[in-house]
Amino acid sequence: MKHDAGRVVPSLALALLAIGAPALGQGTPWQLVWSDEFDGTTLNRDIWQPQFGTGTIYGLPSGWGNNERQYYTDRPENIVVSNGSLKIIARAEFYAGSQYTSARIRTPGTLEILYGRIEARITLPSGPGIWPAFWMLPTTSPYGGWAASGEIDIMESVNDADRIYGTIHFGGAFPANTSNGGSFAPGIDFSAAPHIYAVEWEPDQIRWYVDGQLIHSAASSVWFSANENGNDRAPFDVPFHLLLNVAVGGNFPGPPSGSTGFPMTMTVDYVRIFERQQLPFTSSSAAIPGQIEAENYDLGGAGFAYLDSDASNNGGVYRPSESVDLEACSEGGFNLGWIRQREWVEYAADVAVSGVYRVLTRVAAQSGGGTFRLEFGGVNRSGTIAAPVTGGWQQWTTVEKTATLLAGSTTMRFVNESGAGGQFNVNWFRFELIAEAGDVNADTRVNAEDLYALEQGTGQYEDVDLDGESGTADDFAALKQRIRTGEVDPG
């Protein structure tokens, strides 16, 4: 069994397992961050919590709000882990006043997900009145009671296991709720062999797959929460937890019949969670000093490599499957277009030398203009940079700032700081080394003359150790160490 007892939030790029995974879905790489392979002999209760009864102890009407007929237990008659799989077994037996027993397990507080690919390999039970499901609920319900805070059904099937349903529930609290979903009926019996059921959940889109085949998708323009009208991504923008269960009867499948061959078993070979693996768009990270083309932001998708305010690419001429607005540029190539409030994009970069850099950015704005910053490794290194009005979306000008950068591999994030009315375009970012760390007098060499300039207080760049404080004892020590070790010309 592979697991971590803490919570998993793929949107924060937690690499809980150093396990590579093949490219899935739309071709953007995914990385496995958690899995339960059920290769032990008992259910891992550090992760999975069985639920009990008919729903009343959880504040639901008897029958789990769906007129279901089973009593959920955690007995070995209903939950078994053996031979590399989890079995959830529904039985026809009188128990605690119910005619049937089964199991329902979930992960609130132990395994919570916000965005990612969630999949399981499952062999379904089949028979009248049988309702297996692999699904997700929010743990805290921040937008109100079901379904104002949402529900994601990764896989449901009823009765003869010949059709798979993928659905989201949202809107207002019951009975003012609504849903969006699709079904897949390729003419096969899903109880005859295991199949892989998955969703790819991103800020502006949820996609459903069966054995890698896309069966349905829903965009954020479709869903909403009645209690959060100002948030286009609600309710599917908060952590959800997993559930696995087999219900008997209920509003969806109807009741079991004499032909329902109990016991009915849902066999789960594994549950796996993947996150977007953020990679450079080109074959390698952008080099600094050098120029970064704005349209070549990282692979990884929405919420990982970028955040765009709408779900469509309004330019539509470059990387059209992603929602970052790109358009053909009058100066050649493409540019980021119509950048709006709170939007950002990221670029993998390699900084060759620690030091002070001139940062040049090519911008254009028909009206409004705006401001932005450049973060490196999560730190604002540029301060606020203004993008002025230029009189046209393709009337370009270059704005300049300085930034102190540290050598090494990093991620540069361009962040729009503008208010609601700010809007502008970006074509490229260029970085020119002004002074290497320790080049106090900016003569392109680091030697004893820099130490003299530091002692006299006549240097231009006296923050040798790049800690944000100039001319301190630490700066003297750092420069002396470099000279003493022969790292630089002693002059």
Does residue 151 carry a catalytic annotation?
yes
Q: What's the full length of the chain, in residues?
A: 491
How far, in Å, are 113, 116, 223, 228, 283 from residue 170 at the CA level?
A: 18, 19, 7, 11, 41
Can you state the angle between helices 473-484 and 448-456, rounded to 10 degrees?
160
**Residue tagged 């361009």 (tokens):** 414
- Nearest to 34, CA basis, from 371, 324, 271: 271
Q: Count of CB atoms within 10 A of residue 319's CB?
A: 17
How far, in Å, are 326, 354, 433, 450, 452 from residue 490 at the CA level?
A: 50, 19, 22, 10, 12
Q: Which two tokens stand for residue 276?
A: 């977007």
Looking at 112, 119, 156, 200, which residue is catalytic? 156
Q: Which two tokens stand for residue 33?
A: 């961050």
- Specify whether the CB–CB gap between 437 and 415 falls below 8 A: no
**Residue tagged 């939030």 (tokens):** 9
How far, in Å, are 12, 58, 295 from residue 241 at the CA level?
A: 16, 16, 35
Q: Count of CB atoms within 10 A of residue 373's CB?
A: 18
CA–CA gap between residue 310 and residue 308 (Å, rounded): 6
CA–CA gap between residue 391 and residue 422 (Å, rounded): 14
Residue type, 96: A
DSSP state of 483: H
CA–CA gap between residue 480 and residue 459 (Å, rounded): 15
CA–CA gap between residue 293 and residue 289 (Å, rounded): 13
- Specify whether the CB–CB gap between 345 and 297 falls below 8 A: yes
Looking at 112, 151, 343, 346, which residue is catalytic? 151
Residue type, 277: Q
Does residue 293 carry a catalytic annotation?
no
Measured over all CA atoms, what is the biggest interatomic distance in the chain, rounded to whole angstroms? 96
Q: Give the active site residues.
A: 151, 156
